[in-house]
Amino acid sequence: MPREGRLELVCPAGTLAGLKAAVDNGADCVYLGFRDATNARNFAGLNFDAAAAKEGLRYAHAKGAKVLVAINTYPQAESWTRWTAALDQAAELGADAVILADLGLMEYAARTHPQLRLHLSVQGSATHYEAVNFYHEHFGIRRAVLPRVLSLAQVAQVARNTPVEIEVFGFGGLCVMVEGRCALSSYVAGESPNTAGACSPAKAVRWLETPKGLETRLNGILVNRFGPGEMAGYPTLCKGRFEVAGATYYAIEEPASLNILELLPRLAEIGVAAVKIEGRQRSPAYVAQVTRVWRQALDACARNAQDYSVKGAWMTELGKVAEGQQHTLGAYHRPWK
């Protein structure tokens, strides 16, 4: 799908306006979901009905961009036909690929729509090349999106040992769990993000101004408390503050945005095919700003990887929209790994 030696830029499209912002600012691909639990960003006000999806495909294709449809949650027995109907709809609309996690859906897609390109979602939790190759051999998966828990050396090992294109996350919210296996928010919210499509669903979220500060709660459970002027991120348990051994701090992960601009030459060298920007739940303005910076960076890397360096202006622009206004390389570079 991408041209050899060139990292493809895959950008979020939570709405039609977001899709157009991504395409207009240089996205090679956009990824979107339908308005139900079949996709992992099932929030009110987001996603596409049939008419919006059709217009999005028309707009993207007219400008040379591809559209990937995320059907990347796990159907249950009583709701199986909702997921197969979503797959049928994506094929009928002419999607360039569908992003899947469930084995049954992959089998259905390979059998029913053999012409449809299949990508393995990050929700599929493939953390080693044997898993990626299994999906390729049995279902014809053409690309795999790796979870955000692998070091750069582990990404390189996967890329070396599979014919499948490898896609990695480059910027946005950092999920510290192995996606597709995390049920953390379901302990409080009562719904698994892997089936309902939303980690910390909006209906369980509350923001409360109190004498002690701004509090964020999930189903009434205190997740975080912010002082005056402190950046308040969306409440998820993995990025909450906890009392541990008498101290209160971010015990699992601090709120920060993954940002791997500095790793682009190495990613190209080890054979990664695409870099994904997270953020279908973010605004079109966010999508435009982030896409524009990453388009410039990827083009600079493609022109001359040896002399590539991260520009201060890029970091300044990304810093404005980063979670907690902080950047991290996440698991790509941690001494203990």
Instruction: Give the residue-averaged pLDDT of 112-118.
Output: 98
Residues 168, 104 share a domain: yes
Residue 334 has pLDDT above 60, yes or no: yes
Confidence grade of residue 5 (pLDDT, cut at 50, 70, 90): low
Residues 71, 204 share a domain: no
Residues 156, 93 share a domain: yes
Given 249, 277, 308, the domain boundary residue is: 249
Confidence grade of residue 336 (pLDDT, cut at 50, 70, 90): very low
Residue 189 lies in a domain: no
Residue 184 lies in a domain: no
Angle between helices 80-93 and 50-62 (to 10 degrees): 30
Residues 84, 101 share a domain: yes
Q: What's the pLDDT score for residue 3?
A: 54
Neighbour count for residue 211 (Cβ, 10 Å): 4
Q: What's the pLDDT score for residue 254?
A: 76
Instruction: Give the residue-averaged pLDDT of 51-74.
Output: 97
Q: What's the pLDDT score for residue 264?
A: 97
Beta bridge partners of 10: 29, 276
Share of the chain above pLDDT 70, in %: 97
Between CA 61 and CA 72, with CA 67 as vertex, the angle to 5 degrees is: 170
Tokens of 301: 């890397």
Check: CB of residue 261 under 8 Å from CB of residue 290.
no
Q: What's the pLDDT score for residue 176?
A: 72
Count of domains in the chain?
Answer: 2
Check: CB of residue 74 under 8 Å from CB of residue 88.
no
Residues 324, 207 share a domain: no
Tens digit of each residue's pLDDT (9 = 90 or more) over 134-150:
999 999 999 999 998 89
Residues 294, 170 share a domain: yes
Residue 232 lies in a domain: yes
Report the C-alpha gap between 205 and 105 in whole angstroms.
31
Residue 62 lies in a domain: yes
Instruction: Give the residue-averaged pLDDT of 92-121.
Output: 98
Q: What's the pLDDT score for residue 19?
A: 98
Residue 2 lies in a domain: no
Instruction: Give the residue-averaged pLDDT of 190-205.
Output: 83
Choose among 182, 186, 195: nearest CA to 80: 195
Neighbour count for residue 258 (Cβ, 10 Å): 23
Residues 117, 207 share a domain: no
Residue 31 lies in a domain: yes
Check: CB of residue 75 under 8 Å from CB of residue 108.
no
> Which residues, 6+ apart, have CB-to-CB distance to 282 below 8 Å?
12, 14, 18, 172, 321
Burial of 4 (0-12, 13-18, 19+ CB in 10 A): exposed
Q: What's the pLDDT score for residue 217?
A: 92
- Strands 213-218 and 221-226 turn out to be antiparallel
Residues 268, 244 share a domain: no
Given 249, 267, 282, the domain boundary residue is: 249
Confidence grade of residue 4 (pLDDT, cut at 50, 70, 90): low
Q: What's the pLDDT score for residue 327?
A: 85
> Which domain does 63 fall in, by range?
8-174+256-332
Q: What's the pLDDT score for residue 189?
A: 85
Q: What's the pLDDT score for residue 10?
A: 98
- Strands 205-210 and 213-218 turn out to be antiparallel
Report the C-alpha gap between 280 and 16 in whole angstroms.
11
Given 191, 221, 249, the domain boundary residue is: 249
Q: Output the average pLDDT for the chain.
A: 92
Q: Which of 3-12, 77-86, 217-226, 274-283 shows the lowest per-residue confidence on average (mean pLDDT)? A: 3-12
**What would you measure as the largest C-alpha separation in the chain, in angstroms?**
60
Residues 263, 278 share a domain: yes
Instruction: Give the residue-averaged pLDDT of 201-214.
Output: 89
Residues 240, 101 share a domain: no
Residues 145, 234 share a domain: no
Check: CB of residue 22 under 8 Å from CB of residue 13.
yes
Tokens of 201: 């669903």
- 135-145 CB burial, b ≥16 within 10 A, e <16: bbeebebbbbb
Q: What's the pLDDT score for residue 174?
A: 78
Residues 322, 242 share a domain: no
CATH number of the domain bearing residue 314: 3.20.20.70
Residue 188 lies in a domain: no
Residue 65 has pLDDT above 70, yes or no: yes
Residue 73 has pLDDT above 80, yes or no: yes
Residue 21 lies in a domain: yes
Residue with tokens 């051994």: 245
Tens digit of each residue's pLDDT (9 = 90 or more) over 255-268:
788 999 999 999 99
Tens digit of each residue's pLDDT (9 = 90 or more) over 168-186:
999 998 777 777 777 888 8
